[in-house]
Each structure stands twice: as C-alpha cells, then as structure tokens.
Amino acid sequence: MRQPDPVQPTVPAIKETAIQGSQAAWERALAAGRAEGTVSVVTHPSLQWRGWVPIFQQRFPEIKVEHLGMRPSEVTPRIISEQRNGLFNFDVMVGPTSNSVKNLSPAGVFQDLRPFMLSPEAVDNAKWHGGLEMWADKDATYSLVTAMTVTRATIVNRRMIPRGELTTIDGLLDPKYKGRIVIYDPRETNNGSLQLASVLQNRSEDFLRQVLQDAVFVDSPSQLVDFVVSGRYPIGIGSDPERLEKLQAEGLAQDVEVTTLSAHAAASGIAVFQNAPHPNAAAILVNWFLSQEGQEAYAREGETATRRTDASSYIGDSQSYGTPEWGNLDQYVRANEWQGIPLVDRVSEIAKEIRR
C-alpha cells in the first residue's frame, strides 16, 4: 500500500570539525557577558518555550534579560524588517524550529551558532540523545535542535466508535465515517497538517485526498476537542492535547482516546541572530541553555522533555506526548525540521486543492 514519499529532501551539509568547547573561552565569555549586562531573547509566547527565562534571570542576576514572546507570524516580518534597516535588537531565539528553518534562515537573519557553543559541559556529545549536532536547518549551521517530542493528536470518541473499530489508519476511509471526521484546518501549518503529514508518509496522496474529501475543517484545536468530546464529530485530527488532558483530569472526556493512528516529531531549538548586540551575554545564555541545568529548567518549567540525557522528562503520563525512539528517528515525520517540512507543505497544498 505504501508508495514512495512524494518529497525527497536532499542530504544536509556535514561540517568537518566537531564542536569541542573550551573552558578558557567559556570563562572569557562569562566575564565579557557579565560586563555587557543585558541579553535580548525572543521566544514563542507559549510557556513551553518561555518558562525557563525567569530561571536564567535568577541564575545570572547581573545580566538583565529582555524577553519578548512573539508568534511566528509576528516575529518573521519584524526581525527581517529590522535587520534590513540595520537594526539588530535581538540576540537569541528559542522556539519551535519550523519558523527558523522555513522563514528566518533563508532570510539570513541568523549567524553560525557554533562559535557560541563554548562550555565543555554544554557541548558534551555524549550528553545528547542522537549526538549534540542535530540541526533543524539543512545547512547544519543556525538552528540547533535541543528538544524533540512525539505528538499524537488524532483522537476518537469511543462512545461513538467502539474500541474494536478504527484501529488502523486505513479505517479512516471506511464509508461509515464519511462526514464524521473533523480536522484542524490543514491548509495551514498546525497540528492538523502535521498529523496528516504522517498519514501522507505512511500511505499516499490519493489516500490523503480521500480522507480530506468529506472532512470538516475547523480553525481551533480546542473547538475540535469539544466537537469530538460531544460526539458531534467522533474522529478528530489535530487536537489540542492540553485541552483534552485538562478535561480528562477533571473526569470529563473519559471516552476520548488518543490514538496511535498518526504521530509527528516536533523539534524545538535555539539560534543566534546576526550582529547580536550582546554577543557575549548571548554566549552565556546559549551555553547555560544547553547545559544540564538549563535543559532541566526548560523541561521542568515547560512540562516537556529535552534531548539532554541527564535532564529529566516532565511529560508525565501524557498520552498525547512522548519521547522519540532516538535510534530510529526516521520512523517519524520530523515536521519542524528540514526533513519533514516539505511533507507538511505538501499536505497543505493538497488540502487547498480539495477546498478549491
């Protein structure tokens, strides 16, 4: 049944020299960064990506953190416009890597991250699942993947569809489910299109077209969860896991199952902007963020997991999120990285064609 992937990304550039780190360089950066006294950081506004900021501020009280939370639709035009007008206000960016790879890196707003990776403890290759150098961009230069979670966001109301039914992805085409599937609008990059990228990877474009044909699109993942919980539409693709878990924690939505019909791997990472105004303070932030302490704070405050082997996972018993099998990452659609982005874009194109 499986057909060849419609999109074949090319292999990324490989840097010849591995990052080593240097205690002396790190200590010099520490002193110079403290003298600079300020670091300016942009994150995605969600707690997952900004929760660690106050911890860094406590750790380095002598460096004032100027933090701005911005959505991708805002950060992209702003940073590009500022830099084109010679204004370099920001040092570091932390967030999901898709915006960095698709929009910001091609616009040339980042600089090579390697010179900023100094602390031997932070860049210890053995301390990272999959090795330190996992880059989201094809140039293996700008956006380092620091965390990756497997997201399952296809849910089924088992009060309406018994557990013995719809156990494989092929069941989505069963005529009895026609008009009973609701999808978070896959014409955009969101949990809907990301989950469907997994469907596309494992089946075919024709299969995907059939799934989309009679489905209802909604513009809010919370609304999707509410529709599935009420039974209005018993199958939902692209749910809001936090909303569902909140309902289930209060004893609601007990009939709703998070399925394994589809899953995608979502990466988050760090990058440094061109002409960062506080380069040494930026280096302090980057190295602290990559350290065990930084990654532990990131995971704890954001209730997530990281690639650091010595940082705890705070995902808990979530059905929607999990840690990937590090030795077999190819089984996932890596939706925020150069490998998976073309597949997600293809899903959106097909969805637009269907709704044309």
Out of 21, 29, 36, 44, the only residue in the binding site for another protein (CB under 8 A) is: 44
Size of the site for another protein (CB under 8 A): 58
Taking the least distance from each CB to another protein, the nearer of 94 and 218 is 218
Taking the least distance from each CB to another protein, the nearer of 34 and 78 is 78
- Pick from 264, 240, 282: nearest CA to 334: 264
The reply to whether 59 sits near another protein by the rule CB under 8 A is no
Distances (CA, A) of 85 to 39, 42, 77, 89, 273: 21, 19, 12, 11, 15
Taking the least distance from each CB to another protein, the nearer of 60 and 128 is 60
The reply to whether 185 sits near another protein by the rule CB under 8 A is yes
Residue window 148-177: x/- pattern of binding to another protein, with contact defined by CB under 8 A: ------------------------------
The reply to whether 81 sits near another protein by the rule CB under 8 A is yes
Q: Are 287 and 122 in contact (CB under 8 A)?
A: yes
From the centroid of its chain, how far is CA 212?
24
Least Å from the CB of residue 344 to another protein: 9
CB atoms within 10 A of CB 355: 11
- CB-side neighbour CA atoms (13 Å) of 6: 21
| Interface segment toward another protein; rule CB under 8 A; list 150-158, 250-258, 269-277, 278-286 | 250-258
Q: Are 181 and 216 in contact (CB under 8 A)?
A: yes
What is the C-alpha separation between 19 and 199, in angstroms, rounded? Answer: 37
Out of 8, 58, 85, 328, the only residue in the binding site for another protein (CB under 8 A) is: 85
Q: Taking the chain, what is the end-to-end CA distance rounded to the nearest angstrom? A: 27
Q: Is residue 186 classed as helix, strand or coil in its secondary structure?
A: coil
Phi/psi-derived region of residue 251, left when phi > 0, alpha when psi is between -120 and 50, beta in every other case: left
Taking the least distance from each CB to another protein, the nearer of 75 and 156 is 75
Least Å from the CB of residue 211 to another protein: 17
The reply to whether 301 sits near another protein by the rule CB under 8 A is no
In the complex, the residues that contact another protein under the rule CB under 8 A are 40, 44-47, 54, 66-74, 76-78, 80-82, 85, 87, 89, 98-99, 102-103, 106-108, 182, 185, 187-189, 216-220, 222-223, 227, 230-232, 240, 242-243, 246-247, 250-252, 352, 355-356
